[in-house]
Amino acid sequence: MKKITVIGTGYVGLVSGTCFSEIGHQVICCDIDQNKIEQLKQMKMPIYEPGLEDLVRKNVHDGRLTFTSDVSVAIQHSEIIFIAVGTPMSETGEADLTYVKAAAKMIGENLNDYKIVVTKSTVPVGTSRIVRQIISKHAFTSVSFDVASNPEFLREGSAISDCMNMDRAVIGASSDMAAKIIEEIHEPFHTKVLITDLESAEMIKYAANAFLATKISFINAIANVCELVGGDIVKVAEGMGLDSRIGNKFLRAGIGYGGSCFPKDTLALHHLARVAGYDFSIIQSVIDTNDKQKTIVIDKLLKALGDVEGNAISVLGLTFKPNTDDLRYAPSLSIIPILLNKGAKVKVFDPIALDGVKRYFGASVTYHDDVYDALHDSDACLVLTEWEEIVGLDLDKAKSIMKEPIIIDGRNCFDLEIMNSRGFHYQSIGRPAVG
């Protein structure tokens, strides 16, 4: 059992801290956001993540997990400090390291004993060395410490299961001893461990995310070509995925990737390469393809309706994927303003994220926590997220309450033959239009 402090109690810090406590470590999760910590102390989860609340409750109850907004005390208490703060996209596309640097400064100021400072946040190559310099600069004593990089690979929506059953842990460290200790704390996860130098560990995370984003943009581009020349992207992807060199994951055509990782990490990698003197044109194409893909449902809608001015358009699903409340870079945030600009009356449905979306659109759209209320009297509907409530839609009921049975599906949720036989005009991605 080790004493672990996690700085930053967001999607990554809260989930990984909770999972480290679940496998037996003594964990303090700290955050400068006092409101978040107060909520957590009252067992109110600041994020929606399946299974999180139960696991937090269990480990708090068993005395292995605590929360504090006193970051200094949390740092002094533990030997292993994970930095899990945000690294948002800056205006230039570069990763903004403000929060990582602030965390490193606090660690330096509170360095009371040997510590291993592990960066879990997604950061550009070279950041662990910057963290080391900042800690040394602000340390009042000459106490030794190590730095390490241990990037996080969990996915929102299945974060607890991803963390508890992680398929690999990547560890880059400034000393063999630090690498060994971090490897040991992962032992109860029974996962594959890859020990590397610091820079490789940092690059693995960017390279993995950029590669997955490339797969998504690639299949979306193939879908767009299928629409022009024929073919059904679902079958094409199935056939490609049967090749074990390709694999069947991340080959689902749609309206592109969003969320808090792929958009910022692809841009950050592109920026990192450019500053180093390399024009990473593949990544630029991936980003451009994704940007165009986001609004493809608008073109399809206009094709179906001609004009949307004065029309009621239902937008089903607002988060960038199901089972999360994360709205960062969700395609809905690009699509809804276009509809509003064109004079549409927008009715939105999401099972989890309505409160979050209100912050973006206020009174300019109507909000529905029932999918059929959102569809009532609408001239057309856009499907943006494959939530269970949407995939399992009662199509006959939907058709009976919509003014016009027009569905533009950005996630290929429905079967073409079924949509045709039920009398819908149905357009999806990379498949022929029906009705």
Name the site residues for ligand NAD (rule: CB under 6 A).
7-13, 30-33, 36, 71, 84-87, 99, 102-103, 121-122, 152, 154, 156, 260-261
Least spacing, CB of residue 360 vs ligand NAD, in Å: 17
- Dihedral angle computed from the Cα positions of residues 110, 70, 26 and 42, in that order, rounded to the nearest 10 degrees: -170
Residue 88's contacts (CB-CB under 8 Å, 6 or more residues apart) are 95, 96, 264
**Nearest residue (beta carbon) to ligand NAD:** 10
Annotated binding site: 31, 36, 87, 122, 153-156, 205, 250-254, 258, 264, 321, 328
Q: Which is nearer to ligand NAD, 152 or 409 (CB)?
A: 152
Q: Which is nearer to ligand NAD, 35 or 364 (CB)?
A: 35
Q: Which is nearer to ligand NAD, 153 or 372 (CB)?
A: 153
Least spacing, CB of residue 235 vs ligand NAD, in Å: 31
Q: Which is nearer to ligand NAD, 45 or 102 (CB)?
A: 102
Least spacing, CB of residue 40 vs ligand NAD, in Å: 10
| Residue 189 per-residue DSSP state | G
Q: Which is nearer to ligand NAD, 28 or 312 (CB)?
A: 28
What whole-number distance in Å separates Cα of residue 144 and Cα of residue 131?
14
- Max Cα distance, the chain (Å): 75
Query: Could you tell me which residues are beta bridge partners of residue 315?
Result: 348, 382
What whole-number distance in Å separates Cα of residue 197 and Cα of residue 107?
22
Q: Exactly one of 19, 29, 163, 261 is catalytic; which is it?
A: 261
| Residue 403 per-residue DSSP state | S
Nearest to 76 by CA among 111, 116, 28, 32: 111
Least spacing, CB of residue 343 vs ligand NAD, in Å: 35
Residue 368 near residue 343 (C-beta atoms within 8 A): no
First and final C-alpha spacing in the chain: 62
User: H helices within 98-192, ranges in order?
Assistant: 98-109, 127-138, 159-164, 176-186
Least spacing, CB of residue 113 vs ligand NAD, in Å: 20
Hey, is 13 helix, strand or coil?
helix
Task: Check if 19 is active-site.
Answer: no
Annotated binding site for NAD(+): 31, 36, 87, 122, 156, 264, 328
User: H helices within 232-363, ranges in order?
Assistant: 233-241, 262-276, 281-294, 296-305, 332-341, 354-361
Positions annotated as catalytic residues are 261
